[in-house]
Structure 1
Amino acid sequence: MTGFRRLAALMMAAFALFTMITACATRQPSPVPVVPDDPASAFPAKVSLPGGQPVTLLQQPKRIVSLSPSATETLYALGAGDQVVAVDQASNFPANAPRTELSSFNADAAAVAGKDPDLVIAPDNATQLAEGLKTVDVPVLLTPSAASLDDAYQQIQVIGQATGHGNQAGALVQKMRTEIADIVAATPKPPQPMTYFHEVSPDLYTATSRSFVGNVYSLFGMVNIADSAPGPFPQLSQEHVVQANPNLIFAADTKCCGVNAPAIAARPGWQSIDAVRRNHVVELDDDLAGRWGPRVVELVRAISEAAGKAQQG
C-alpha cells in the first residue's frame, strides 16, 4: 500500500511539473502598462525635430490642424483625435478625421488661422506658412520626411510630447518596434537575397534604399535594383527594369494611377521578368507605402507575406 501511495505521489508531482511547464510555454506576455499622461505637468513644453526650429507650447493644445497625412494618422493613434479640428485634403485615414480643402502645398496663413488652431503640424516645406502663422502667434511644428524607421519613431515621440500624449507615444513606438521585429524574424530567409523593384508611378519613378520605404525593405535583406541610380526617388528606364530582372515587383501606384499586376504584365518586354513570370507582382496600398505613421507595421507585414510567397515558388 505504501508503494502505491509513493507511486501516486510521484505521478501527481510529475503532472504538476508538466502543467507548470506547459503554462509557462503558452502564457502570453502581459501588455506593457501605459501610465496616463498628465498634461498639466507636461506643459509648458519645448519640442523640436532635427533641422527644425524649436516650438514652445505653453499648455496642451486643444485645437490642432494637421497638414500631414502621416501626422494625422499619428495623432489619432496616440489618442489625440479629439484635439484635431481640421486636417488637409490628403489625410484620408482615419475616416472620421475632419478633412478640409487645406493643403500644405498652397494653404495660406489666413486660411489655416481661420480654423483657430493652437498648434499646426505641417511638412517641413511649409516654411512660408509657418512664417505667416508666426505673426499671429500660432505655433507650427514642421515635420521632415522620414528617411528611416528611427526617424518615424522620433516624430511619433515628438508629436506625443507636443500634444500631451508622451506616454502613449512611448508605448506606441515600443509596440511598433516589437511587432516589426517579430514579423521580420518570422519571415523565411532565402539562400540568396531577393531583388525587387518598387514602383511609385507608371512612368517608372521608384524609391531606392535611401528612402523611407527602401529602409523598410532593407529589414528583409532585399536588394533594390534602383540603388545604382542617384537620389532617393530616381526614374528608371524600361530597359533598366527588364535587364535587372527583379524577383519581386511592388506596385505602390494602385490607387493613384490604377496600376495592377495584369497592367504590369502587359508592358512590352516585361513578360520575361522573373517577378511577372512567377506572379510575384504585389499590389500595395499607396498610402501605406508613402507614409511613415503607425500603419507602417501593415506595410512590413505585406512585404513579409510577399517575400514568403516568392520563396515558395
Structure 2
Amino acid sequence: MRRTPAVLVAAALALGLASCAAPAPATQQELTKVDACPQASEPLASLDLVDDVRTATGVSTACLSSHAIEPVADEAAPVLPVTVTDSEGRDVEISDVDRILPIDISGTIASTVFALGLGDQVVGRDSSTQFAGTEDLPVVTKTGHTLNAEAILELAPTVILTDTTIGPKEVRQQLRDAGIAVVVISGDRRLDTTDELVTEIAAALGVPSRGEALIERLDADLDASLAEIAEVAPASVEDRARMLFLYVRGSANVYYIFGEDSGADSLIDAVGGVDVAGEIGWQGMKPMTAEALVAAQPDVLVMMTDGLESVGGIDGLLERIPAIAQTPAGANRRVIEMADSEILSFGPRSAEVIDAIARALYAPDSATAESAK
C-alpha cells in the first residue's frame, strides 16, 4: 500500500471545516444510539448479502459496533523521563504524562492514547474526538480545527501530542515557549501506518510495552476483518463495486474527490472495492469536476455523514451535482455514509471502520439502510 502525505487530507478537511461550524460535542445519548448498530456483531458472511454490489440501491449508514475504545490489558507504568525525536526532527523530553492533550484533525491520536490505557490522564480534546469517555472533555479547537492557545494553556497540559493536520504552527511554538512538551506525531493515516503511529505515541508516553501489546491486538483485528471481507468480496475485479470517495460541504460549496494517496483509497481497497478515482488518474484530493465523475462511473459513493446532510441528503446531492445522475451510483441513489469523526480515523478503530463499510456495501440491510431516501 502507498503512504499518504497527511497534508492532502488535512487541506481538504480544513478547507471545508473552516467554513463550517465545529461539530457539536457528542452527548451520551447520541453515543448510546451509535452503539446500537444493527447486527454489527454478527459474522459478515451470515448476513443477508446483496446479489450484486454494483446494482444495490439506496443510502446505507456504516456504523461501528461500539463507540468505546478498549484499552490494552498491559498496565505497565510509564517509564519517564523519555526523549523522543518527533516527526519534525525535534528532540523532545517528556517527564510527566499526568495531563495529556492529544489533538489532530481526525481524533486518531486521542483514540490511540485511550487504547494505550491512558485515557484517565487526557485533559482535553479536538472537535473530532467523539467516542465514549470523551463527552465531558473541553474542546480546545475553534472553527473546527484551529488550535486555541488560551484554551490549551488553561488546561495546563504536561504533554501535547499533535501532528501537522492541525495548527497553526505558530500556536504550537507558543505552547513550546510556555514550557509544554509538544510532540509532533507523523501525520500519515492509512491502514498500513497504524503500527508506526502506535509506536510513536507509546514511546512518547513512556509505555513501549503497551504499544507492542496494542499493535499485536490491532494487527490481529485487521487481519480478521480483511479475511472476513475476502469471504464475500467478488473474486473477479469486474464484479466488484466501483467506489468513489466524495468530500462535500454544501454550505461552503466545497466538493472534492479523494483519489490515490488520499487515505480514502486505502479504505476502498480494504473492503474489496475498486477505487475508480485511481482509474482516472486522480491523485490525492482535488476539486470535483463533472467530467471526472462521468469518467469514473462509480457504482457507490462513499461520503461523510455531515457532508451528505449539508446538501440535503441524496435528493440535494443529485440536484446540486447533476453529473452524478449520469453514473450508476446516481441512478441507484447509492451512497454509503459514515460519521465524520470515524470514517478516516485510522488507528485503533481501523478494523472496525472497514468492517462497518463492508457491511454497508455487501449487506446494506444489516446497516442503517434507507433505500427510499
TM > 0.5 fold call: yes
Query: Runs of 5+ in structure 2 lacking a partner?
Result: 1-71, 365-373
Q: Closer, same or farther in 2 for the Cα pair 1:63/1:145, shift >3 Å? A: same
CA deviation after TM superposition for structure 1 residue 82, in Å: 1.2
Structure 1 or 2: more strand by fraction: 2
Partners of 1:290 and 1:136 in 2: CA distance = 32
Partners of 2:127 and 2:190 in 1: CA distance = 25
Partners of 2:152 and 2:89 in 1: CA distance = 20
Query: Runs of 5+ in structure 1 lacking a partner?
Result: 1-32
Residue 121 of structure 2 is aligned to residue 83 of structure 1: yes
Instruction: Note if contact 2:277-2:296 (Cα within 8 Å) is conserved in structure 1.
Output: no
CA deviation after TM superposition for structure 1 residue 231, in Å: 4.1
Selected match of 1:123 from 154, 163, 178: 163
Q: Closer, same or farther in 2 for the Cα pair 1:231/1:48, shift >3 Å? A: farther
The alignment partner of 1:234 has SS state of strand
Partners of 2:94 and 2:269 in 1: CA distance = 37
The alignment partner of 2:193 has SS state of helix
**Comparing 225-234 with 279-288, which one deviates more in the overlay?**
225-234
Give the 5 Å matches for 1:48-197: 48-58=85-95, 60-68=96-104, 69-94=107-132, 95-103=134-142, 105-108=146-149, 110-124=150-164, 126=167, 127-187=169-229, 188-190=232-234, 191-192=236-237, 193-197=240-244
C-alpha offsets along residues 56-91 of structure 1, whole Å, 9 cap, x if unaligned? Answer: 113x41011222222122222222111112223443
Partners of 1:113 and 1:294 in 2: CA distance = 28
CA deviation after TM superposition for structure 1 residue 217, in Å: 1.9
Residue 268 of structure 2 is aligned to residue 217 of structure 1: yes
Instruction: Note if contact 2:185-2:197 (Cα within 8 Å) is conserved in structure 1.
Output: yes
Percent of aligned pairs with the same amino acid? 19
Instruction: Note if contact 1:45-1:162 (Cα within 8 Å) is conserved in structure 2.
Output: yes
Corresponding residue of 1:295: 349
Q: Closer, same or farther in 2 for the Cα pair 1:64/1:149, shift >3 Å? A: same
Q: CA RMSD in A?
A: 2.8
Residue 279 of structure 2 is aligned to residue 243 of structure 1: no
- Larger RCO of the pair (alpha carbons < 8 Å, separation 6+): 2
Partners of 2:89 and 2:363 in 1: CA distance = 42
Corresponding residue of 1:10: none
Partners of 1:87 and 1:210 in 2: CA distance = 27
Partners of 1:230 and 1:247 in 2: CA distance = 17
The count of residues paired between Structure 1 and Structure 2 equals 274
One-letter amino acid of the counterpart of residue 211, structure 1: S
Residue 81 of structure 2 is aligned to residue 44 of structure 1: yes
Q: Tell me the TM-score normalized by structure 1.
A: 0.76
Q: Tell me the TM-score normalized by structure 2.
A: 0.65
One-letter amino acid of the counterpart of residue 252, structure 1: M
The alignment partner of 1:251 has SS state of strand
CA deviation after TM superposition for structure 1 residue 229, in Å: 5.0
